[in-house]
């Protein structure tokens, strides 16, 4: 009778629908009160009490995994990114880690396109002006006048590229992994160096994984290479951006704007200067918002858990 620690915040509200499935396989759930994620100290309280876990962006550090071993056998991540799980420690301790690749490609790519349209057509700013009683015709432009730089041309980066090209945008791409030449040829993306992309893009979309090569990729040196009219869009992971240096660049006018769905610390502190910036669009880590996509991920996460625990469906 395996016990599973359930901490995935997108899944917890719907547990009644899945209870019969857990009952079928004799799984007992431990369901803590979760706001955004479980930190290391939160997880350590449950060490040794569970055989498997369904998690969101919980901090499964080496310390946590060692404390949970040898009982812990499987972690099933709700979603795609597993940067909050120490994969090396998990492998060493024989803890299987499952995830759902390509889970939210469509809603995240749509979000990137939405941010670009908002900035070029100035919709949110005209709406705010109208509601202040101002009849102000703010100049806009079209996406076809703009170049997009895609950092990380994986599933989401490819989807962003296709959408941008359909609007007539020039698209530059960069990745530490070689991108499929068929996609490059068919899409018309121009693969280039990071430096060239930064200095020639009007929009810069971060679509890479969080790893040692991408941590604080956007910082003083890279911001200095951007055009004054550049807008940074981050729907990937907060720590890819060195937030204080981005804030300084936005405040000084070094770059024109930013659209941020993710942050170094979540929830974003109420006293963050980002909260009061007129040239920034903010969202609460919600670019994956799509009930249809969530449903697919719910079931994929359960299947990954069963597989990790060695339970046959």
Q: What residues does each domain of the chain span?
A: 3-103+291-308, 105-282
Residue 285 annotated in active site: yes
> In this predicted structure, what is the pLDDT of residue 169?
99
Task: Please report which helix (H) or strand (E) contains residue 197, including its range.
Answer: helix 194-200
> In this predicted structure, what is the pLDDT of residue 313?
83
- Do 3-103+291-308 and 105-282 show the same overall fold? yes
CATH number of 3-103+291-308: 3.40.50.720
Write out pLDDT tens, residues 208-242. Answer: 999 999 999 999 999 999 999 999 999 999 999 99
Q: Name the pTM for this structure.
A: 0.94
Catalytic residue among 237, 270, 298, 303: 237
Catalytic residue among 37, 59, 99, 285: 285
Q: Give which of 281, 301, 273 is closest to 203, Cα–Cα.
A: 281
**Stretches in the chain below the pLDDT threshold 70:** none
Give the C-alpha separation, 142 to 119, whole Å.
Answer: 10
- Contact, 204 vs 234, CB < 8 A? no
Catalytic residue among 190, 215, 266, 303: 266
Q: Which CATH class is domain 105-282?
A: alpha beta
Residue 237 annotated in active site: yes
Task: Please report which helix (H) or strand (E) contains residue 147, including its range.
Answer: strand 147-151
Report which DSSP code applies to 28.
Answer: E
Q: Specify the 3-state DSSP secondary structure of 15.
A: helix
Q: DSSP E strands: which ranges in 152-255?
A: 170-174, 190-191, 203-206, 231-234
Residue 71 annotated in active site: no
């Amino acid at each position: 009778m395996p016990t599973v620690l359930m901490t995935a915040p997108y899944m917890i509200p719907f547990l009644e629908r899945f209870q019969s499935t857990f009952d079928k396989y004799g799984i007992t759930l431990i369901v803590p009160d979760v706001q955004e994620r479980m930190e290391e100290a939160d997880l350590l309280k449950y060490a040794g009490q569970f055989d498997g876990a369904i998690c969101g962006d919980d901090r499964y550090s080496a310390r946590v995994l060692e404390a949970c071993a040898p009982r812990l056998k499987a972690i099933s991540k709700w979603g795609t990114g597993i940067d909050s799980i120490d994969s090396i420690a998990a492998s060493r301790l024989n803890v299987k880690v499952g995830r759902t690749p390509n889970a939210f490609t469509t809603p995240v790519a749509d979000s990137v396109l939405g941010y670009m349209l908002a900035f070029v057509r100035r919709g949110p700013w005209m709406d705010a002006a109208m509601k202040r009683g101002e009849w102000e015709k703010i100049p806009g432009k079209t996406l076809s006048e703009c170049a997009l730089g895609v950092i990380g041309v994986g599933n989401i980066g490819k989807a962003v590229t296709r959408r941008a090209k359909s609007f007539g945008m020039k698209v530059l791409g960069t990745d530490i992994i070689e991108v499929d030449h068929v996609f490059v040829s068919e899409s018309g993306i121009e693969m280039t160096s990071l430096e060239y992309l930064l200095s020639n893009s009007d929009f810069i979309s971060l679509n890479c994984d969080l790893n040692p090569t991408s941590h604080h990729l956007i910082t003083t040196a890279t911001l200095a290479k951007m055009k004054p009219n550049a807008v940074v869009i981050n729907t990937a992971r907060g720590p890819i951006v060195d937030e204080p240096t981005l804030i300084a660049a936005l405040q000084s006018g070094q770059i024109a704007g930013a659209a941020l769905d993710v942050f170094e610390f979540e929830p974003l502190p109420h006293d963050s200067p980002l909260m009061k910036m007129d040239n920034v669009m903010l969202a609460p880590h919600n670019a994956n918002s799509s009930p249809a996509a969530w449903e697919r991920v719910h079931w994929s996460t359960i299947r990954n858990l069963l597989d990790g625990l060695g339970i046959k469906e």
